Amino acid sequence: MYYTQNEKILQVGEEKIIVGIDVGSEKHYARAFDWRGMEYSKKAYVFTNDAEGFAGFFEWITGIME
């Protein structure tokens, strides 16, 4: 389906978390926001491009979801 930008915004509700990731070749930077645009942490979460880094990212995002 094709949605307009406003239709996409309306799909984001209180139970959603928006995560933005800046992908790099060695390090990635992630930020998480609630449905109002309020950031969950003051700094970006930095993780490496390997299994250990992605495991840490998973723990970080799981902690935010609780």
Indicate yes or no: pTM above 0.85.
no
Q: What is the DSSP letter of 60?
A: H
Please state the separation of Cα 13 from the chain's center in Å: 15
Instruction: Return the pLDDT at 1.
Output: 67
Q: By C-alpha distance, which of 65, 60, 52, 66 is closest to 21?
A: 60
What was the pLDDT predicted at 5? 79
**Is there a contact between 53 and 60 (Cβ–Cβ < 8 Å)?**
no
Strand order in the sheet with 18-22: 18-22, 27-33, 45-48
pLDDT of 16 reads 86
pLDDT tens track for 8-63: 777 777 888 999 999 999 999 999 999 888 999 999 999 999 999 999 999 999 99
Domain range annotation of the chain? 5-65
